[in-house]
Amino acid sequence: MIALLQRDLLLAVRAGGGFGLGVAFFLIVVVLVPLGIGPDMVILSKVSVGVLWVGALLACVLSLDRIFSLDYDDGTLELLLTSPIPLEAVVTIKAFSHWITTGLPLVVVSPILGLLLGLQVSDLKWVVISLLIGTPALSAIGAFGASLTVGIRRGGLLLSLLVLPLYVPTLIFGANVASKGLEDVSNNGALLILTAVTLAAFSILPFASAFVLRINLR
């Protein structure tokens, strides 16, 4: 399974499979917002958490169709299905690999973008914590969506339509953790629910994804 993770990361670096692409998109979205609503730092700092979370979410969606489609197109997915590794483990590893190449870089650059949106240095930790806990769920949910659309030509738009509504709980509780943290209000409840969403996504959805993939590969 480590070999699969290593291979996916190598492919992401070599074939433009995610590294940099999501971050660049995230950066552009965040830079465009002040151009749209004006340079007032008070307003920007108020909307910053929402902008960062929606930006992260859209950046994540951008590369979802690559989770399975490349392996489907060249026949590797079929071979993996008949390999000794359980398909559920393959899905989990591929979702984790997607998070490393897309979600983790967003977490890393989020403090810089938070500063651009007028957040104080002391406030940045809650943005980072919420994204660190919440973005893995985006990859696991996204992998489920990708398994539903694998094999569909130009299925990217359909994938976005399927996945974005499923992101709502993560978005609500992720943004809630950060915004309550910024206001110095207790955010323990939202933090626990966000953690639960991520754990549930990674423990349940790989089984659903594997089930759907087996049907789609028939």
Partner 1 sequence: MLLSVNNLSVSRGGVSLFKGLNFTLSSGQFISLTGGNGTGKTTLLRSIAGLQPIDEGEILIETDNFIFAGDSNGIKTSLTVSENLRFWSAIFGEKEFEEALEVFHLTKFENRFAGKLSAGQKRRLSLARLMLADKGIWLLDEPTVSLDKKSMEEFSKILKNHLKAGGAAVVATHTDLGLKTHSSNINIEDYRTKSGNLNASAGAFL
* Interface positions with partner 1 (CB under 8 A): 2-4, 7, 10-11, 14-15, 74-76, 78-85, 217-218
Find the shortest distance in angstroms from Cβ 65 to partner 1.
Answer: 17
Find the shortest distance in angstroms from Cβ 18 to partner 1.
Answer: 13
Find the shortest distance in angstroms from Cβ 130 to partner 1.
Answer: 34
Find the shortest distance in angstroms from Cβ 158 to partner 1.
Answer: 21
Cβ proximity to partner 1: between 14 and 153 the closer is 14
Q: By the 8 A CB rule, do 150 and 72 touch?
A: yes
Cβ proximity to partner 1: between 1 and 196 the closer is 1
Find the shortest distance in angstroms from Cβ 214 to partner 1.
Answer: 8
Cα separation, 177 vs 134, in Å, equals: 10
Cα separation, 135 vs 133, in Å, equals: 6
Q: By the 8 A CB rule, do 87 and 80 touch?
A: yes
Cβ proximity to partner 1: between 63 and 110 the closer is 63
**Residue 40, class by beta-carbon neighbours within 10 Å (0-12 exposed, 13-18 middle, 19+ buried)?**
exposed
Helix (H) / strand (E) element for 31: namely helix 21-37
* Alpha-carbon distances of 54 from 135, 142, 154, 201, rounded to whole Å: 11, 15, 23, 19
Cβ proximity to partner 1: between 85 and 204 the closer is 85
Cβ proximity to partner 1: between 83 and 186 the closer is 83
